[in-house]
Structure 1
Amino acid sequence: MPGAVIIGAGPGIGQAVARRFAREGMPITLVARGAQTLRVVADGLAPYDVPIITLQADSADRAALDAALDQAVGEHGVPEVAVHNAALVRADELGELSVRDHMEAWAVNVVGALNAAAHLAPAMAARGSGTFLVTGGMPEPKPEYVSLSLGKAGVRTLITLLDQHYGSFGVHAASVTVDGPVAPGTDFDPDDIAEHYWHLHTQPRHLWDREALHAGRS
């Protein structure tokens, strides 16, 4: 049974999204850089009794990410939903970062999602269905977070491009914009945020949204 692939499956949103899809009985593939992170997230899915694959890869390393996604497809089939949740979050102001630092942030925040989509979306399109979701943030750019602001604007553009290219073939591309610091028990509880991912995945095609905004509990 095809399931969900979570890229950037760390604590917080990644783990909560994995739990949300596991609750529906979907096989889960977890992709993250660290083995310890993967163990902790996978252990948290044990109560759901679903097949789980854990794969180490840096989303900014295309060869490693491609290999991980190939393994995921080989074991679980083309996923019903893929979530790119990796991000490089750091405070920086205009002119503060070097070109290399900006390129590093862009590689994680945007290019990793682009490469994952380029690897999975064609097979989803060939099947005629699939969901590709990216964790976004910052509805408005902030001068104290320049590289992240640029990255989140890039995510919105990427979603538009994916929709233009694959939407007519049944692939729903969308982002979840989180407008605040994620922490359990707050207005930005990761389990509350994870509901947006499930909602986007299950939206009827004629109601597809390209962005869901989590601005806190209503």
Structure 2
Amino acid sequence: MKNCLIVGAGEGVSRAVAKRFGTAGYRVGLISRNATNLQRLAADLASDGVKAFVATADAGQATELVGAMEALIGQMGACDVLIYNAAVLKPGNALDVSTEQIAAELEVNLLGAHRAVSIVAPGMIERRQGSILFTGGGLSLEPFPEWTSLALGKAALRSLAISLFKELSPKGVHVAVLAICGIVEPGGPFDPEEIANEYWRVATNPTGLADREIVFQPVGTDPFYNDPDRVHAAVSLPPKV
């Protein structure tokens, strides 16, 4: 049986992804800093027939994250799919957010991802198989000043993902970043179950270069979702759908 680890587990995308992998026969490991929410999520997944292993850790705290991942791998076995979904979602304009805040949030938005990869990648390389997926966002493609710190993190995460793709693809490991360019809501164009199906496809049946980056923006959705009042429309070039 294969194993999928999700760092930054919660409702929405990660719950849907956990269900998608779990119902397909994967063991699922969940890491979150909120123990109460983590136990609730595991109970919800159990009602869907998914057995989830859990470990509490703040993705921005190196010792906690490493300990949680090693504990889950010890219980479940080697990681076949790593999904990094952790992020700090704090607004702040470029000249208002402090340098210290940006540095602290990059611990979660970027450095935690690198730490997580450093734990699972050696085994994947040795087995010449595995997938590493990062949850990105439209801010990595077109930043808006109200979300300066998160945009910096997502842009850096995108760069990390593409660098890892180039390094690990020849070694049998697929790496991808999936930019979800909208608000995740059940029944909407960014339905978490539809997004989870795309995570599943990219992790289990990637097409190579075409799947190093997925921009999830269904036709007709608003590329200015990070700027709903069009404050920055005159100085923005949102990604073409």
Q: TM-score range by the shorter chain?
A: over 0.9
- Give aligned pairs, total: 218
- Aligned pair partner of 2:161 in 156, 159, 166: 159
Output aligned runs, 1:40-79, within 5 Å: 40-79=40-79
Matched letter for residue 157 of structure 2: V
| Runs of 5+ unmatched residues, structure 1 | none
Q: Could you say which residue in structure 2 is the equivalent of 1:131?
A: 131
C-alpha distance after superposition, 1:134-181 (max 9, x if no partner): 100013111221111111110111012212322211111101101011
Letter in 2 for 1:76: M
- The match for 1:101 is 101
1:210 and 2:201 equivalent?
no
1:19 deviates by 0.7
Q: Does 1:12 align with 2:18?
A: no
Match of residue 179 from structure 2: 177
Q: Which moved more, 1:41-50 or 1:138-147?
A: 41-50
Partners of 1:115 and 1:159 in 2: CA distance: 13
For 1:51 and 1:208, locate their aligned partners in 2 and report how far apart those are by CA, in whole Å.
32
**Please, what is the CA RMSD of the aligned residues?**
1.6
- Secondary structure in 1 aligned to 2:211? coil
Q: Separation in 2 of the partners of 1:185 and 1:51?
A: 25
CA contact (8 A) 1:188 1:217 kept: no
Q: Secondary structure at the match of 1:167?
A: helix
Deviation at 1:47, TM superposition (A): 3.7
Shift of 1:107: 1.1
- 1:9 maps to amino acid: A
Which consecutive residues of structure 2, in runs of 5 or more, have no partner in the other structure?
221-241
TM-score by length of 1: 0.94
Q: Which has the larger radius of gyration?
A: 2
Identical pairs, percent: 36
Counterpart of 1:86 in structure 2 is 86
Q: Which residue of 1 aligns with 2:28?
A: 28
Cα offsets for 1:107-154 (capped at 9, x unmatched): 111111111001111111111101011100013111221111111110
Tell me the SS of whatever aligns to 1:175: strand
Query: Distance in 1 between the 2:25 and 2:214 partners?
Result: 24
AA in 1 matched with 2:42? A
CA distance in 1, matches of 2:92, 2:85: 21
